[in-house]
Amino acid sequence: MKVKDFITGLFILLAVGAMLTSCKKDSFNDCNCGIITDDHISGSSYSLQVRNECTGNKQWFEVDGDVWLHGYIGNNQCFTNQSNW
């Protein structure tokens, strides 16, 4: 019985491991999202340049100071109020 219990335990462990590794991180493959490539401040205007995840196009977006402050180059950023660019 010990061999059978070992094999059953090993199978359960492998099944759980397979489930955990098959779950991939949420993709930002949303056409209103992209990677921040640049930032800019002009007076009280804050802007981020974002490369679209679907098209690869870059576009500048004017954002508030808080979004700009936490929008690091290389981070993902989504704009729900924008159509695909």
At 18-51, the pLDDT tens digits run 776 654 444 546 789 999 999 999 999 999 999 9
d(CA 41, CA 29): 28
Residue 56 has pLDDT above 80, yes or no: yes
If you average pLDDT over residues 53-70, what whole number do you get? 94
Q: Which domains, and CATH codes, for the chain?
A: 33-78 (2.40.50)
The pLDDT, as a whole number, for residue 80 is 85
| pLDDT at residue 24, rounded to an integer | 47
Lowest mean pLDDT among 4-18, 41-55, 70-84: 4-18
